[in-house]
């Protein structure tokens, strides 16, 4: 990271907060099907690989594309075929209130970072991400929230990153963005001149040479 770094922006889902499976997978659980954690990680890796391969950074990308790919792969691996079920799962996963799982130590590390850097959030969401993060006890960690539900543009559109930079009155070259999808987060941030780091809990980019971390503590160690 450049010594000029003053500001760190974070993605929300799969970076700061994670899906609550009792709600996002409720339609699947109702059928008596409960995927293992590795099956969910495999679906995540597949969805990211396909999005990156198909150039998700195009203007035609929407957050829904990711979840359509994710659940198509997951349901196929579980040998479950039901269009209605697929739609219910996609809808549940795109509801911000269903993302309230916070990894241990998250708040503590964010407060540690906030003593040195200005922190903000940039998220493709439904307009409810700030409320969710505050309800999860992370609200005081951030100086600004940029939600696609309010901006009207989704990552990787430059407009959402530029809106966040303007909100915190910071320059792209002195800002770092931390998110979990290469073609959406990494490409979107670097295109506007920001530095970028992948938050890769599922190991989708483990074999790449891209800058990546698997925890906030590891991010602290790299800064």
* pLDDT recorded at residue 61: 65
Same domain, 129 and 173: yes
Residue-wise pLDDT for 143-198, tens only, equals 999 999 999 999 999 999 999 999 999 999 999 999 999 999 999 999 999 999 99
Domain range holding 69? 21-98
Same domain, 112 and 203: yes
d(CA 85, CA 124): 23
d(CA 95, CA 14): 14
CATH number at 72 reads: 1.10.150
pLDDT grade for 215, boundaries at 50, 70 and 90: very high
Q: What is the DSSP string of 3-54?
A: TT--EEEE-SBTTTBB--HHHHTHHHHTTT----HHHHHHHHHHHHHHHHHT
Same domain, 164 and 109: yes
Is residue 2 in some structural domain?
no
User: Which of 31, 66, 98 delimits the end of a domain?
Assistant: 98
Output the pTM of the full model.
0.92
pLDDT of 57 over the 80 cut: no
The two tokens of residue 200 are 């890769």
pLDDT grade for 53, boundaries at 50, 70 and 90: confident
pLDDT grade for 218, boundaries at 50, 70 and 90: very high
CATH number at 110 reads: 3.40.50.1000
Is residue 41 in some structural domain?
yes
How many domains are there within the chain? 2
195 bridge partner residues: 176
Same domain, 86 and 61: yes
* pLDDT recorded at residue 214: 97
* pLDDT recorded at residue 73: 95
Same domain, 89 and 106: no
Is residue 117 in some structural domain?
yes
Residue-wise pLDDT for 83-142, tens only, equals 899 999 999 999 999 999 999 999 999 999 999 999 999 999 999 999 999 999 999 999
Closest CA relative to residue 203, chosen from 28, 41, 80, 37: 41
Q: Tell me the mean pLDDT in the region 214-218.
A: 97
pLDDT of 2 over the 90 cut: no
Is residue 49 in some structural domain?
yes
Same domain, 116 and 202: yes
Same domain, 86 and 105: no
pLDDT of 58 over the 60 cut: no
* pLDDT recorded at residue 205: 96
Is residue 13 in some structural domain?
yes
User: Which of 98, 120, 146 delimits the end of a domain?
Assistant: 98
* pLDDT recorded at residue 62: 72
User: Which of 66, 98, 130 delimits the end of a domain?
Assistant: 98
Same domain, 29 and 94: yes
pLDDT of 56 over the 70 cut: no
* pLDDT recorded at residue 129: 95
pLDDT of 1 over the 90 cut: no
């Amino acid at each position: 990271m450049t010594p000029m770094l003053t500001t760190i922006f974070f993605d929300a889902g799969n970076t700061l907060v994670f899906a609550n499976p009792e709600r996002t997978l409720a339609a699947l659980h109702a059928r008596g099907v409960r995927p293992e954690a590795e099956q969910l990680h495999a679906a995540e890796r597949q969805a990211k690989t396909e999005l990156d391969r198909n150039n998700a950074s195009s203007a035609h990308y929407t957050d829904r594309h990711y979840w359509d790919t994710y659940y198509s792969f997951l349901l196929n691996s579980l040998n479950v075929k039901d269009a209605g079920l697929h739609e219910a799962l996609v809808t549940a996963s795109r509801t911000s209130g269903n993302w309230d799982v916070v990894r241990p130590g998250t708040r503590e590390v964010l407060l540690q970072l906030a003593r040195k850097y200005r922190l903000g959030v940039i998220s493709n969401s439904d307009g409810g991400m700030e409320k969710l993060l505050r309800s999860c006890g992370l609200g005081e960690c951030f100086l600004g929230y940029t939600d696609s539900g309010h901006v009207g543009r989704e990552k990787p559109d430059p407009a959402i990153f530029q809106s966040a930079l303007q909100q915190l009155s910071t320059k792209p070259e002195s800002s770092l963005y931390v998110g979990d999808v290469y073609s959406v987060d990494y490409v979107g941030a670097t295109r506007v001149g920001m530095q970028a780091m992948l938050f890769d809990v599922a190991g989708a980019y483990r074999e790449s040479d891209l800058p990546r971390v698997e925890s906030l503590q590891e991010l602290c160690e790299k800064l």
